Structure 1
Amino acid sequence: MKKQFLVLFALLLAFVKTYGQKQDRPNILWIVSEDNSPFLGCYGDTFATTPNLDNFAKQGILYKNAFATAPVCAPSRSTLITGMYPPSMGTEHMRSTYPVPDFVKFFPRYFRENGYYTSNNAKKDYNTIDQTEAWDESSNKATYKNRKPGQPFFAVFNLNVSHESGIHVSVPTEKLKHDPEKVPLPPYHPKTPEMKHDWAQYYDKLEEMDRQAGELLRELEKEGLAENTIVFYYADNGGILGRSKRFVYESGLKIPLIIRFPEQFSSLAPGKPGTATDRIVTFNDFAPTVLSLAGITIPSYIQGKAFLGKQQVKERAYAYGFRGRMDERTDLSRTVRDKKYRYIRNYLPHKISAQYLEYLWKAPSMPSWEAEFKAGRLNDVQKQFWLEKPSEQLFDIEKDPHNIHNLAGDPKYKDVLLKLRKANHDWVIESQDVGFIPEALLSKISETTPLYDYARSGRYDLKKVIETAEIASSREKSKLPEIIKRLSDNDPVVRYWAVIGTIVLKNEAVSAKSRLNELLNDPEISVRIAASESLLNLGETEKPVQTLSEALKSENQMARVQALNVLETIGTKAKPSFQNVRNLLKGNPKDSDYDVRAAKKILDEAEK
């Protein structure tokens, strides 16, 4: 009997130690949904069906100004896992594996070193070389339940049901829970049947996401861990229909964020349960914040700042964001957001927002929107997506949450424009943004040197590069003499941006023609390709197309992508390159390769 009692007592002690004992350090649980803006009831969306997260918001703190750094998953997740701004490391372009410096560690590793159990279920997608030692386990079966008795944990659960792919195959209308005829559409979307259906199906996916989030919260309660665990719920970027995910508007960068603090750790909360805060937070800040909550010293190299815990700092004034290459299409934008305004600088304004992306066009709503544009049935707001971009955009978020009224040219907002323009310029310089290096050259540099180190090596004349990029993207003909001068600069990155300036000006840059022809023999392939694009704008065909066709034989994939981006815009003029396009497809059978996607589009258009 005494032996049975001792066994029972030992089991009771183990239970108390595992479930009932208060911890000095909190567990931290991340519930991460994919591709969704704050389409939740607790954020005021009356069409959404999200009872679990609405109830969760009543128990936690709702953040009204939380932002991803990039409007797409992999660069955003690079930010989250490192606490670093991707353009400072070269991890900004979609699905790349450029290495980060050795001292940059995936932050869960610091939790492990401090006795925490770390689990990730299951998406990684960190846009750089993986660091598997960050996790005790990372798989679709990973869970905090596998930790040792009494061990604190940092656990991530990724919910992919709301991912963009969820609308690629349409559900029969009669099976939808949300009525396509009642779905609220943003003013930039036409009311096509496909658009309304995709939106309704998306709301169905969000309802299921909410159910799954509720299951995870109930599981935590069932395990007796809710009173020891700080829970974050957030989305990895905005989305998902056209002009949201991948685009640096509110629809792509603003995310839901709710954090619940158990009573034991209520002193760490910024307010009482059920309240909201307008503090600006970004993905840069998430890693240092959870380290701060756990009492772990934040490494000095981390660029983000803690907004909770003993190491929290003064509230940031701005949220910075970026757009680089998205799959097979090149683009470059930077954005700054304060509590009232969003400023966007488009450094490649000649590229339309609606560049064809194979993956984006899998949603039935996208071809329907394109068809409406080609038929001339769109209003002025709806067709902007299909036209060239302004060099600068400024939006009053309070009055214009959908970002459709550009105030950059309004004299009444000149002071705001100048302030945010300067904030953007200063941050690009401070963060040592390597995204202004054309990716064909960027990828070559990364083979021998981490791009973060290269930016700080003295070999990257960032100030002159940014100055040239700003001149080039300004659309100001008065800048042409300076642009022509920089076409002969010793720095290939400066030459590249000078050529971009002639592309943006189109026929107004005719006086640069002779120098552009010389640049068809430039030692840097990205400059040759850009010069070809400019000369095509100025009416030349044979030599530019020949140069682009030769670029398709390059071993540099990003050079091939750059050349294909140009060839895809010139229609039948690209015909002399078609054999090299076909050869490229034969040599690169993987559909996931971005040069393959771009090449297929060219041949598909040629066959029409």
Structure 2
Amino acid sequence: MKENKLYSFLVGLVRNAKAYCILAFLVWLVNACTEKEKLRPNILWITIEDTSPQFLGVYGNQDARTPTMDKLANEGVRFTNAFSTGTVCSPSRTAIITGVKTYKTGTGNHRSDIQMPDYIKGFPAYLQEVGYYTSNNKKTDYNVKNEERYISETWDKSSSKAGWWNRKAGQPFFSVFNFMESHQSRTMTESYEWYKGNILANLDKEEIINDDEFEMPPVYLDSPEMRKQFARVYNALKLTDNKIAQLLQRLKDDGLMDNTIIFFYADHGEGMPRGKTNGINYGYRVPFVVWFPEKYKELSPWGTEIVTNELVDFTDLAPTLISLVGGEVPEHLEGRILFGGGRQKPADHLVISSDRSDNGIDMVRTVTDGRYLYSRNYMPYMPELRYIRYMEIGEIKQQMRQDYKAGILDSLQNSLFAQRPPVFLFDLEADPWETQNLANNLDYKEILNKMETQLKDEVLQSKDIMFLPEYELNLVNKAVAPYEYRLDDTEYPIAEIYKAASLSGYVGSKVAEKQIAYLKDANKIVRYWAAMGLRSQSEQILQNYASEIRDAMDGSYPPVSVLASAIAYQQFNDAKAIQLLQSFCLCDNEDLALMAVNLLLYVDDKEPFIETVKLAHDKEGRSYNVKAACMDFLGSLGLVPNNTNYRQ
């Protein structure tokens, strides 16, 4: 009898244990599902165009009227050290969508056609894999080959009608909205009459910022004519703020505010002369905010209603979002995970870049720790306000050129039209408008040397593919993705190339002697950088090497021949150089033609090339960039109206 009772007790105990285990498992399952759902926030991206933080109220501008953006920033996390990876839209957006620096993918040149390896997808595809609905409204401009395919593989919907409202019931979303109201076209390149009809007409009278209601940045002449133009920045941002308010209201009305993390940022710096397209802080630094609803505040390592000086660039976005939603971050993404369980150590410096914008060839590499900014100008014979047709048509830039010719600018404002130094070093804390270059100040020698080393290390480690001239880059691109090509040290000996490139812009007999030696190197890219560097040397020094430069004109590598011809014409008025430059302007290769016309924009005597440039402009099938460079050439001589626009 006792044995039967013991047996029954044990059986009941086992049964209860089983029931307990089942119950415990069910509780765990419910909690796991709840936790999983909790960690699947909706994500809203609000991107605006061409805006530097110093023009928003929340970043300290007391003249701005941006209450919606200010509120979002005050309630969320406001970043003071956020940087675009480029200074014009398409390279910036390539880095955002791929999560890879443009100097690795070869997409640094604005509106190029560079192929990507199959494994470098648009990062929202990784969000789709874990169940997210992805939408983009609507700008793409990703600067990659087969962009339509790239877009279709990245977004569930990408159009002016795209939004979270098209997803399945209960499906988490990642939705991007891009507001164009602050774009350079609105603030400077469209006519003033257009601006009145499309910006001012959409603001109430009390919302309009008048010409005398803001502080003029010191890099611009404080005149009634300039104030009339610069007020456009403030009013365009006010209209942008209104549009963002409407979007956030829709999010609230749809009952989604409590479940949505909001990112707000600009695609690069201000769309004004010296900002956009220019490789300094004014071109790179952007407003950047992350807003967390109460439900997800614990994800923020900074807290909320707070300001952080943590360094951020656009390659941090892709890994952060993939990690946040529980996806697997691919190995080729080297940006930081900013927050959430996978958060990575903050960076102590960033390396960012600026290359060709439309017809304005350039190459700048920049290092910043947030306070100091070091920019290496590899083509410094061109000024900060170099010729770019899309900016030349702007009334404000035309006004600046008029004021320059009239001799009424101060030394800082005049410097924007002069040849750049090889290096800029600015203390952004003491000098936010970058008015004092500290590169030659011995008190800052240690900082300069440190950043110079950081840049060299990154160029060599990343195998910066943009040290190829665009002519060569496009030849490579026909056969293989530049991202992969750069990894072959035999094909692309970046260490040897960098030795020659690192001299570019520095002047003097010792430097020139090294450059002349490199001009005879077996590697054609080394020779290219030798010729590029010689372009900045003085006539007095180059006279010693006239025969070597003339020999380079006849060399087998066209980009070297173009550069050597430009040097020989500028310094020696060489007749053969004139003929060669004329032939390059008219040649079928668009990259060589653009090089030739661009170089002619910065020679003293343009007269021998006027008719050639007219023919180059009219040549059938010419690309926008070559036509635009021709228009800049003719416009600089007063032969065509400066408001002539061929924008695609």
Task: State the TM-score bracket (shorter-chain normalisation).
Answer: over 0.9
Q: Give the whole-Å Cα distance in 2 for the aligned partners of 1:469 and 1:96.
A: 23
In structure 2, relative to structure 1, the CA distance for the partners of 1:199 and 1:605 (3 Å cut) is closer
TM-score, normalised by the number of residues in structure 2 = 0.87
One of 13, 19, 32 as aligned partner of 2:47: 32
Q: Give the match's secondary structure for 2:309.
A: strand
Gaps of 5+ in 2: 1-35, 640-648
Q: Deviations over 1:499-526 (max 9, x none)?
A: 1222111311222211211122222211
Match of 1:17 in 2: none
CA drift of 1:199 comes to: 1.7
1:373-392 aligned at under 5 Å gives the runs 373-392=404-423
- Contact 2:358/2:625, CA 8 A, preserved across alignment: yes
Match of 2:583 in 1: 550
Match of 1:73 in 2: 89
- 1:334 maps to amino acid: R
Q: Give the whole-Å Cα distance in 1 for the aligned partners of 2:184 and 2:139.
A: 15
- 1:575 maps to amino acid: P
Q: Give the whole-Å Cα distance in 2 for the aligned partners of 1:415 and 1:570.
A: 36
Q: Give the match's secondary structure for 2:82.
A: strand
Q: Give the whole-Å Cα distance in 2 for the aligned partners of 1:214 and 1:368.
A: 34
- Contact 1:545/1:577, CA 8 A, preserved across alignment: no
- 2:157 maps to amino acid: E
Match of 1:88 in 2: 104
One of 296, 299, 323 as aligned partner of 1:292: 323
1:201-600 aligned at under 5 Å gives the runs 201-458=232-489, 459-507=491-539, 508-570=541-603, 573-575=606-608, 578-579=611-612, 581-588=614-621, 593-600=624-631
Match of 2:642 in 1: none
Q: Give the whole-Å Cα distance in 1 for the aligned partners of 2:532 and 2:37.
A: 61
One of 66, 80, 86 as aligned partner of 1:64: 80
- How many residue pairs get aligned? The number is 586
Q: Give the match's secondary structure for 1:217.
A: helix
Greater Rg by CA: 2
Q: Give the whole-Å Cα distance in 1 for the aligned partners of 2:603 and 2:389.
A: 18
CA drift of 1:276 comes to: 0.9
CA drift of 1:169 comes to: 2.1
Q: Give the match's secondary structure for 1:109.
A: helix
Query: Quick one: percent identity of the two aligned structures?
Result: 33
- Contact 1:503/1:537, CA 8 A, preserved across alignment: no
Gaps of 5+ in 1: 1-20
CA drift of 1:576 comes to: 5.1
Q: Give the whole-Å Cα distance in 1 for the aligned partners of 2:257 and 2:419.
A: 51
Match of 2:13 in 1: none
CA drift of 1:452 comes to: 1.1
Q: Deviations over 1:280-299 (max 9, x none)?
A: 00011111111121121110
Q: Give the match's secondary structure for 1:279.
A: coil
One of 50, 59, 67 as aligned partner of 1:43: 59
CA drift of 1:190 comes to: 0.7
CA drift of 1:85 comes to: 0.3
Match of 1:169 in 2: 191
CA drift of 1:480 comes to: 1.9
CA drift of 1:573 comes to: 4.5
Matched, 1:106 2:122: yes
- 2:83 maps to amino acid: F
Q: Over the residues paired in the alignment, what is the CA RMSD in angstroms? A: 1.8
Q: Deviations over 1:119-147 (max 9, x none)?
A: 00000011112202100000000011110
Q: Give the match's secondary structure for 2:502.
A: helix
- Contact 2:217/2:433, CA 8 A, preserved across alignment: yes
Q: Give the whole-Å Cα distance in 1 for the aligned partners of 2:382 and 2:465.
A: 20
Match of 2:165 in 1: 145
Q: Give the match's secondary structure for 1:87.
A: helix
Matched, 1:187 2:218: yes
Match of 1:13 in 2: none
Match of 2:29 in 1: none
> Which stretch shifts more, 451-460 or 506-515?
506-515
Q: Deviations over 1:570-605 (max 9, x none)?
A: 365453572464155231366xx1001112233445
TM-score, normalised by the number of residues in structure 1 = 0.93
